[in-house]
Amino acid sequence: MEHTQELDKALNELKRITGITMDVSAETPEETELALTQIRCLCTAYKEKYNKTDFLQSLMKSGVPSYDIAERASRLHIAPDEKRVLFLLEARVLDEAVTAILKNLFPSQTRTYLVPMSETTLVILRPVKTGETAESMRRVARTIVDTLNMEALTHVQLSYSSIIETLADLSGAFRETTLALKVGKLFYSEQTIFPYNELGIGRLIYQLPITLCENFLKEIFGDDVPEGLDEDTASTINKFFQNNLNIAETSRQLHMHRNTLIYRLEQVQKRTGLDLRTFEDAMTFKIAIMVMNYLKTERNH
């Protein structure tokens, strides 16, 4: 009797997760026990194959046919047409501590899904609440990064997508955020958050042909294209650009004498012919450095 009840429970579970109704005829306790074992194995195998994580991973990698999305989403109790934003997080290591912190930030009732994509990347798929704006998404991104920096003591970088209207748009959003993370790390490495729609000139350079980039650098520097800048010069120039070419403010922030800063800028002018104190030359130099970084990365691949 007990085995029959267990068998009924197992059959109900199978129906719940697969939608399949099955009748089993077992005449002896041994046959009932065998049927029970097999149905439990079926349930386990199905859960492993069709769990939420597997489904969402497959969606992001375009591995689910469009006609199958609604049915599988319904079976897994995932709303197919809920508005969401995809956050793509990258850390040196995604250990249990990072996952635990994220689960605290996004409890199950928030309908937010945490989907590991590799050893170093994880997707956070979060619903957009009524009244939330682009600024709200930026705050969510900042909360994720700051919380992990503070509580897991780990450096993370994060990109996020535009609003996803339906699960069918998930693969496009994953491509968006993957590109945003690559472009952000390459051109804006001092930042930690990269919205897909704010990649600026970095997105343009990233999609240029290599030969065009090489010709651009030759046009500026001639045949003697520099490999790059030493760390001191690079950080000085970055700070100078951040302060809108203001010498007094830059020297104050760097705790550097004004004449030392001017000397460094003049050294750059001697090497490149560009006077970074003028807007046009500063802009040309900024783009040239971004192009050099892009070429260096491409050649190392």
Which domains are seen in the chain, by residue range?
A: 2-49 (no CATH), 79-199 (3.30.70.270), 208-300 (1.10.10.2840)
pLDDT at 270: 85
10-25 tens-digit pLDDT: 778 777 766 678 787 7
DSSP secondary structure string for all residues of the chain:
-HHHHHHHHHHHHHHHHH---------SHHHHHHHHHHHHHHHHHHHHHS-HHHHHHHHHTT-S-HHHHHHHHHHTT--TT--EEEEEEEES---HHHHHHHHHHS-GGGT-EEEE-SSSEEEEEEEPPTT--HHHHHHHHHHHHHHHHHHS---EEEEE-S-B-SGGGHHHHHHHHHHHHHHHHHH-TT-SEEEGGG-HHHHHHHTS-HHHHHHHHHHHHTT-------HHHHHHHHHHHHTTT-HHHHHHHTT--HHHHHHHHHHHHHHHS--TTSHHHHHHHHHHHHHHHHHHHHHH-
Q: What is the model's pTM?
A: 0.73
* pLDDT at residue 146, rounded to an integer: 92
Q: Determine the pLDDT at residue 95.
A: 85
pLDDT of residue 18: 67
How confident is the chain (301 residues) per 10-residue block, as mean pLDDT?
Answer: 74 73 77 80 67 87 82 86 94 86 88 91 92 90 92 88 92 93 88 90 88 88 74 84 89 89 88 88 90 81 59
Instruction: Supply the pLDDT for residue 86.
Output: 96
